[in-house]
Structure 1
Amino acid sequence: MQWFPLMLILILLRGDEAGKIIGGREARPHSHPYMAFLQIQTPEGLGACGGFLVREDFVMTAAHCWGSSINVTLGAHNIQRPERSQQHVTVLRAIPHPDYDPQTISNDIMLLQLRSRIRKNRVVRPVTLPKATNRVRPGDLCTVAGWGLVSQNRRTNVLQEVRLRVQRDRRCSDRFDTYNSQTQICVGNPRERKSAFRGDSGGPLVCNNVAQGIVSYGDRNGIPPAVFTKIQSFIPWIKRTMSRLAPRHQGPTDSLSGAQTSSGGFPQP
């Protein structure tokens, strides 16, 4: 079956109609304080992805969410309204995994080093990453949140959430030729109309308050299951990368209280 990365190109959309992540609901405001909204400049136009804060100076997302410039918003519920809780920061450096393959969307993970540290508070704080031995199992119930499409042509401005069950690897390997059980997780019961959809790429799969996966790709119509990058498999690379890139900044965020910022291009390591 043909698969589709779940990034959203904003120029294809019309209107501000609210709704739900497929089969989900509007999240309680700021109940996912690690969530990040990414505005990405791509060759096709302005794109959007999700991401999540893993340290005061790093956001994690999917590698296919790379662009020539990326703006990050944290502490948001409604991404179209200025909110006093919002912190905006530009990206100093994007570090996609060195083995990321855009043809197969394998090793679909990327770290974003922020140009300035965010201010941790009640509505903005990092999520816990798994230990090397901490794995999810089929049947585990996890949460996905995002601002992506809620149906074929409907987007949402407010954060949505949905509870999804981890599936046996066979469900995805039978459906997607490039599925790799060592580095990916199969998520979403095909009997239920619940799934992440376009624009949710890069957001976390959170199980028992631990970020276990990253939204990667799925069916073009949002029919589950979908494929998530298995974070646990990349812990050594994550630790090594964040350790190597020593903080170059100690200042506050570029702007607070809803003021937008812009970013130019940034170097890759």
Structure 2
Amino acid sequence: MLLFLVLLSFALSPRAEAGEIIGGHEAKPHSRPYMAYLEYIYEKSYPPQHCGGFLIREDVVLTAAHCHGSTINVTLGAHNVKQKERSQQDIPVSKAIPHPKYNAKTFSNDIMLLKLKHNAKMNKYVKLLKLPGSRNKLWPGQVCSAAGWGQVALSETFPDSLQEVELKLQADEECESRFIHYNPKTQLCAGDPKTRKATFKGDSGGPLVCKDVAQGIVHYGKNDGSSPRVYTRISSFMPWIKNTLRKI
């Protein structure tokens, strides 16, 4: 009976109808000033596709390689992406740099740097997000968070405003048993399978944040929006990130 009531309340929830991250809620406006909203054209697709990302340098956004397009535009400082907020900065991407070993078939090395055409203006609405260092340890059960403008489960409805959700890191075995290509060296497993909390379509490229540090990038999962889901492990790519940043 209790389960029925929980499912009924979820089905009738106005917030769920508005299209939030699964099991999450609307973020406090501009509480995640590092978030980037990406619109990109993929092989002349229309309307444009969209992803998430996050600012790591005044002129560089980190995102997922599968968010690549022939043209990419980044919006920073946004909360409601359906409105033209005064806090927003729209900056085209001058160069997209996916990881050279990205493989769309095996979902490996799904990480990409975006060089913006000009520096973003740093203010209370637009700030950088820290990348992991050697002292930033992770463990199963640790509570992290993710955010994005992705769709609600099994619906094409996208939210206007940024949504967020807390996710628990899982032991690698949880994802190894579900995903044939899961690699614990380069990927993270997050999202308690006992709860209905997850990132979903459209959230790709956004950060998995643990103690104010970007530890993962929203990657992929089951099409039903269930947990756990797979995130790119940023620490594994720090040498590539640092080397590339020196060149662009």
TM-score strictly above 0.5: yes
Give 2:159's aligned residue. Answer: 156
Q: Residue 139 of structure 1 aligns with which residue?
A: 141
Contact 1:132 1:233 in 2 (8 A): no
Q: Shift in Å at residue 132 of structure 1?
A: 3.6
Letter in 1 for 2:104: P
CA distance in 1, matches of 2:41, 2:95: 14
Does the aligned pair in 2 maintain the 1:78–1:159 contact within 8 Å? yes
Q: What amino acid maps onto 1:148 in structure 2?
A: G
Cα distance in 2 for partners of 1:132, 1:234 equals 12
2:230 counterpart of 1:227: yes
* Shift of residue 223, structure 1, vs aligned partner: 0.4
Q: Would you identify which runs of 4 or more consecutive aligned residues in structure 1 move more than 3 Å?
A: none
Matched, 1:194 2:188: no
TM-score by length of 2: 0.91
Report how far residue 123 of structure 1 moved. Answer: 1.1
Residue in structure 1 matching 2:245, options 242, 245, 248: 242
- Counterpart Cα distance in 2 of 1:133 and 1:30: 28
1:36 matched residue in structure 2: 36
User: CA offset at residue 212 of structure 1?
Assistant: 0.2
> Per-residue deviation at 1:136?
1.6
CA RMSD of aligned residues (A): 0.9
TM-score (norm 1): 0.84
Matches within 5 A, 1:46-125: 46-125=48-127
Q: Which amino acid aligns with 1:188?
A: G
- Say yes or no: does 1:20 pair with 2:20: yes
Query: How many percent identity over aligned positions?
Result: 55
Question: Residues 113-159 of structure 1: CA distance to partner in whole angstroms, max 9, x if unpaired?
Answer: 00000000011001000014523211110010000002211210100
What residue identity is the alignment partner of 1:36? Answer: A
Matched pairs, number: 229
Task: Return the structure number with greater relative CO, CA threshold 8 A, min gap 6.
Answer: 1
Question: Quick one: distance in 2 between partners of 1:54 and 1:93?
Answer: 15
Instruction: For structure 1, list consecutive stretches of 5 or more residues without a partner in the other structure.
Output: 1-16, 246-269
Q: Kindly state the Cα deviation for residue 244 of structure 1 after the two structures are TM-superposed.
A: 1.0
Counterpart CA distance in 2 for 1:78 and 1:140 is 29
Deviations 1:92-124, CA, capped at 9 Å, x for gaps: 100000110010110000000000000000110
What is the CA–CA distance in structure 1 between the aligned matches of 2:121 and 2:245, rounded to whole Å? 18
Contact 1:135 1:212 (C-alpha < 8 Å) held by counterparts = no
Q: Pick one of 164, 171, 175 that aligns with 1:172.
A: 175
1:203 paired with 2:227, answer no
More helix by share: 2
Residue 212 of structure 1 aligns with which residue?
A: 215
How far apart in 1 are the matches of 2:146 and 2:28? 13
Quick check: 1:90–1:115 contact (8 Å CA) kept in 2?
yes
